[in-house]
Amino acid sequence: MHKEKVYLRAIRTLAENKQRRENGGYNCIPFGLPRFGQYIPGVQKKNYTIVTASSGVGKSKFVKQLYVLNPHEFVNAHPEANMKLDILYFCLEESAENFIHSVICHKLNIDYEERIDIKSLKSVKLEHILSDEELAKVETLKPWLDDFEERVTLVDDVKNPYGIYKTAKDFIEARGEWVYKEIPWTQEDGSIQIKRVKDYFQMAHPDHYVMIVVDHVSLLQPEKGMAGLHEAMSKLSSDYALILRDKYHASVVFVQQQMAEQEKKQFTNAGKSVESKLEPTLQGLADNKLTQRDADEAIGVFAPNRYEIPEYRGYDITKLKDNYRCGIILKSRDGEANIRGHFFFDGAVSRFDELPKAADMNQEQYEYCANRVGRSVNTITFS
């Protein structure tokens, strides 16, 4: 039977993408980060991304903003684009309720410029009880949160590879259907029959983005018969993630730890810190380095302040302190690697904002960054 040539399908995709842009649509969901977006423009269909960093640097917060909160806000702000977005987020590291608490902190900061961390939000800190005014502001977020939970499904009770895959597969199949084709099938007696088999999966909505996020994969629970975590991660990455990407056109995002060895300070003979040996790398992926072979993109998040680096890529870390993060494109199958994005980071409210270029940073901008988190820019001790 006749089979369409691949190049014809490939060219048709180019024409469709071109027409979509000319009609005011989009072929990805932008991150809202103009300079970083020149290299990784946003959430793409049929794409697998790994985000990695050392412990406590903010990789989960980076993923929440770039791959959950920003896409959610973009789709809401652009109804004319006729995009649909569904996110299935596997919380292996925190409860679903704690996830929502972190989202509330972020949204309070965006809408009201309130800077309330999760412990303060929960009135856990001895010096802070959530005020009536603060609670009233939280209450105003209910319509937004209701919309958010319609789009973002949180799963905190599935932690094994097959369970994640089965949940994701069912999630996607509930939003579309398989298109079948007929192929000739030779029977044992030599006769030819026509067999109906799956051809490709089609979403019900014409421009539907489905994201599958696992945070983080080093907390996977191996299944019975598996040798351990390494095998569990290989199964989830090399088998299940690729099926979700290639067969279902999902955008898959894995959060993966860097090895503990990456966090050790290393020095040259002159006694100076070697930044390249401290930054996250593909070889530094913890528990299973092979996942990066499957990924289309890998992004590392780096915090030079933790190593008492006074200046990094032209930025004065003695002034920015722990409020500076670098996003490093470690791998980009269809683009450039070894590209860096520079961000102001407020961990209390899970917020990343692009900084001006290092050459454009002046004293006023350093003071603005410090004021955002309520400290003095002139304090030079490391946190």
What would the DSSP string read from start to end of 155-219? Answer: E-S--SHHHHHHHHHHHHHTTEEEEEEEEEEE-TTS-EEEEEEEEEEEESSTTEEEEEEEE-GGG
How long is the chain?
383
SS3 of residue 86 by DSSP = strand
The pTM for the full model equals 0.92
pLDDT at 275: 74
pLDDT at 277: 83
Which residues on adjacent β-strands are paired with residue 311?
316
Helices (H) and strands (E) in the chain, counts: 14, 15
**CA pair distance 375, 383, nearest whole angstrom:** 12
Encoded tokens for 220: 């996977």
pLDDT in tens, the chain (383 residues): 456 788 998 999 999 999 999 988 899 999 999 999 999 999 999 999 999 999 999 999 999 999 999 999 999 999 999 999 999 999 999 999 999 999 999 999 999 999 999 999 999 999 999 999 999 999 999 999 999 999 999 999 999 999 999 999 999 999 999 999 888 888 888 888 988 899 889 999 989 999 999 999 999 999 999 999 999 999 999 999 999 999 999 999 999 999 986 555 554 444 455 677 899 999 999 999 999 999 999 999 999 999 999 999 999 999 999 999 999 999 999 989 999 999 999 999 999 999 999 999 999 999 999 999 998 776 544 43
Assigned superfamily of 36-304: P-loop containing nucleotide triphosphate hydrolases (3.40.50.300)
Burial label for 85, CB within 10 Å (0-12, 13-18, 19+), is buried
| Strand 315-316 relative to strand 311-312, pairing | antiparallel
pLDDT at 266: 55
Closest CA to 50 of 41, 59, 42: 59
pLDDT at 182: 87
Domain boundaries, the chain: 36-304
Quick one: which H or E segment has residue 369?
helix 363-372
- Which DSSP state fits 222? P
pLDDT at 340: 96
pLDDT at 204: 96
Residues whose CB falls within 8 Å of the CB of residue 59, separated by 6 or more in sequence, listed in order:
51, 52, 53, 216, 255, 257, 301
| Other beta carbons less than 10 A from residue 205's beta carbon | 15
- Which DSSP state fits 33? -
Residues whose CB falls within 8 Å of the CB of residue 309, separated by 6 or more in sequence, listed in order:
273, 275, 278, 317
